[in-house]
Amino acid sequence: MMKVECTRLPSGLTVVTEQMPHLESVALGVWIKSGSRNETLGEHGIAHLLEHMAFKGTGRRTARQIAEEIENVGGEVNAATSTETTSYYARVLKDHVPLAVDILADILTESTFDDEELRREKQVILQEIGAADDTPDDVVFDRFAETAYRNQTVGRPILGTPDTVMSFSADQIRHYLGRNYTTDRMFVVAAGAVEHDAFVRQVEERFSSLPRTPIATPVLEAARYTGGESRETRDLMDAQVLLGFEGKAYHARDFYCSQILANILGGGMSSRLFQEVREHRGLCYSVYAFHWGFSDTGIFGVHAATGGENLPELMPVIVDELRKSSMNIEQQEIERARAQIRAQLLMGQESPAARAGQIARQMMLYGRPIPNEELMERLSGITIERLTDLAGRLFFDTTPTLSAIGPLEQLAPMGDILSSLTGKAAVPHAVAS
């Protein structure tokens, strides 16, 4: 029986473990309740740059030594930056947990931010930005977020821009670090062959120098969904199109209902959009729906990738499926979506890395681990009436966000898409033969 244990240290740092006795390895990491959204207007991209620089040398280890020490024992270490969180994590055999804790503590408390390393890493990130700009299905999502939350940090690309990245100094990175990486916003989580009390002692010893209070007030601008459109015509083989709406925050009553609705509309091969758009009509090679939750807002969207010549038929069909979901949903669809979410939840718990991440997210969002039974209970209360009501509010009561890139000459004007959503004007579409 797996058991989640949680200890809050006198410093304010929270330590959580889940022992998985059948394993020989441990996935562990530090999750910080801070990401690109916590940047100031002049810090665009600094959260991601800090994540890179953490591995570029400390007072005790060079960048090479950080990599070699963890790999000498067959382990691995990495990091990730998102809109609202940053994580530094490792996976090692159980005997090497103290080493992994030591390395993670080292990079988070004693990074030197050497000027020469900073110069090199800026060049790496410039290449990363260039690679993203050359990838249309990345660009369309960046433009989508920027349009949905116009002129706000929550909508900015995490990587930053070449100009902002090149402008940052080591002192600016230290200031961001001191403002955001404090014990009240940090969670150390381990899952696998870990013993809770021993792990707590190791963390308490090595992370004792973390600051309890920020050097300045952390930044978090309230999100304001704006909607609108972004089109970029490029000479590409395919068009990437995103149509979205204001979704629900993690704590909103309709958050889990939104997850179910996204699954029914475009969560797999049996979903409505996949069956109607791809299988029945053959209008695209990829189509799916998604719902992103944030702490105070959310985004519900549909992504499709297709040839430009299919756009006149594709968009009305997608809109028609959205309209249908506000009028009729079958109980069987709800049961299938619920089963898929349950399977994803349980399958994820078979991986210590996935489980550690899941626990960390729950701690950051809800302040406690959420038992599986509680999650499934929340899903079990979702009815046909709640789903159709939600669909009506999502798709008809907010300004849509449209993001598209590629051969867009035949993509309908935003006004026509709005008209087809509200039903004030019909947008005909052909039936595939």
Which residues are known catalytic residues? 51
Which residue, chain included where needed, has tokens 């756009």?
311
Task: Tell me which DSSP letter residue 209 carries.
Answer: T
Q: CA 140 to CA 403: how far, in whole Å?
A: 6
What phi and psi values does residue 397 have, to the nearest 5 degrees? -105, -5
- Phi first, then psi: what are they for 310, rounded to 5°? -90, -10
User: What is the residue whose two structure tokens read 């990130």?
Assistant: 125
Alpha carbon distance 243, 276 (integer Å): 17
- Nearest CA to 307 out of 325, 333, 332, 281 is that of 281
Structure tokens at 183: 């014990």
Q: Among 413, 433, 408, 407, which Cα is nearest to 425's?
A: 413
Determine the straight-line distance between the first and last CA of the chain, rounded to whole angstroms.
Answer: 55
The backbone torsions φ and ψ at residue 287, rounded to the nearest 5 degrees and listed phi first, read -155, 135
Residue with tokens 């960390």: 360
Residues 384, 385, 386, 388: what is their CA dihedral angle, to the nearest 10 degrees?
80
**Which helix (H) or strand (E) element contains residue 421?**
helix 414-422
Q: Which two tokens stand for residue 131?
A: 């690679």
